[in-house]
Amino acid sequence: MKISIEFNSFKLAQVFTISRGSRTQADVLTVIISRGKYHGMGECVPYARYGETMESVSQQINALPAEFDRTILLQLLPAGAARNAIDCALWDLEAKETGISAWKIAGLNKPKAVETAYTLSLDTPEKMNSQAAKNSFRPLLKTKLGGGEADIDRIRAVRAGALSSRIIVDANEGWTPELYEKLSPILLNLGVEMVEQPFPSGEDEALLDLNRVLPVCADESCHDRASLKNLMGKYDMVNIKLDKTGGLTEALELKQAALNMGFDVMVGCMVGSSLAMAPAILVGQEVSVVDLDGPLLLSEDRKHKLFYDAEGVHPARPELWG
Q: How far apart are CA 224 and CA 39, in angstroms?
A: 27
User: What digits encode the pLDDT tens for the residues 254-293?
Assistant: 999 999 999 999 999 999 999 999 999 999 999 999 999 9
Q: What pLDDT does residue 307 have?
A: 98
Would you say 136 and 162 are in contact if contact means Cβ atoms under 8 Å apart? yes
Among 176, 215, 181, which Cα is nearest to 199's? 176
Better-predicted residue by pLDDT, 67 or 146: 67
User: What digits encode the pLDDT tens for the residues 167-215?
Assistant: 999 998 989 999 999 999 999 999 999 999 999 998 999 999 999 999 9
Burial string for 153-190 (b: 16+ CB within 10 Å, else e) reads: ebbbbbbebbeebbbbbbbbbbbebebbeebbeebeee
* Distance from chain centroid for Cα 46: 13
Better-predicted residue by pLDDT, 48 or 109: 109
Among 75, 99, 97, 100, which Cα is nearest to 86's? 75
Instruction: Supply the DSSP string of 261-303, one letter for each residue.
Output: TT-EEEE---S--HHHHHHHHHHTTT-SEE---GGGGBSS--T
Q: Name, in order, each residue with C-beta under 8 angstroms of 156's C-beta and a sequence gap of 6 or more.
A: 125, 190
Q: How far apart are CA 166 and CA 152, in angstroms?
A: 16
Residue 175 has φ and ψ, to the nearest 5°, of -100, 170
Q: How far apart are CA 246 and CA 226, in angstroms?
A: 13
In this predicted structure, the answer to whether residue 19 has a pLDDT above a threshold of 80 is no
In this predicted structure, the answer to whether residue 18 has a pLDDT above a threshold of 90 is no
User: What digits encode the pLDDT tens for the residues 271-280?
Assistant: 999 999 999 9
* Three-state DSSP class for residue 30: strand
Rg of the chain over Cα atoms, rounded to whole angstroms, equals 19
In this predicted structure, the answer to whether residue 25 has a pLDDT above a threshold of 80 is yes
The torsion of the CA quartet 158, 160, 165, 166, rounded to 10 degrees, works out to 60
Question: Interior CA angle at 184 toward 183 and 187, to 5°?
Answer: 85
CA atoms within 13 Å, Cβ hemisphere of 224: 17
Among 46, 4, 43, which Cα is nearest to 275's? 43
User: What digits encode the pLDDT tens for the residues 229-255?
Assistant: 999 999 999 999 999 999 999 999 999
User: What digits encode the pLDDT tens for the residues 126-138?
Assistant: 999 999 999 999 9
CA distances from 226 to 44, 72, 79, 147, 251 (A): 21, 18, 10, 29, 12
Q: How many CB atoms lie within 10 A of CB 283?
A: 24
The pLDDT mean for the chain works out to 96
Q: What pLDDT does residue 162 have?
A: 98
First to last CA, the chain: 18
Give the predicted TM-score (pTM) of the model. Answer: 0.96
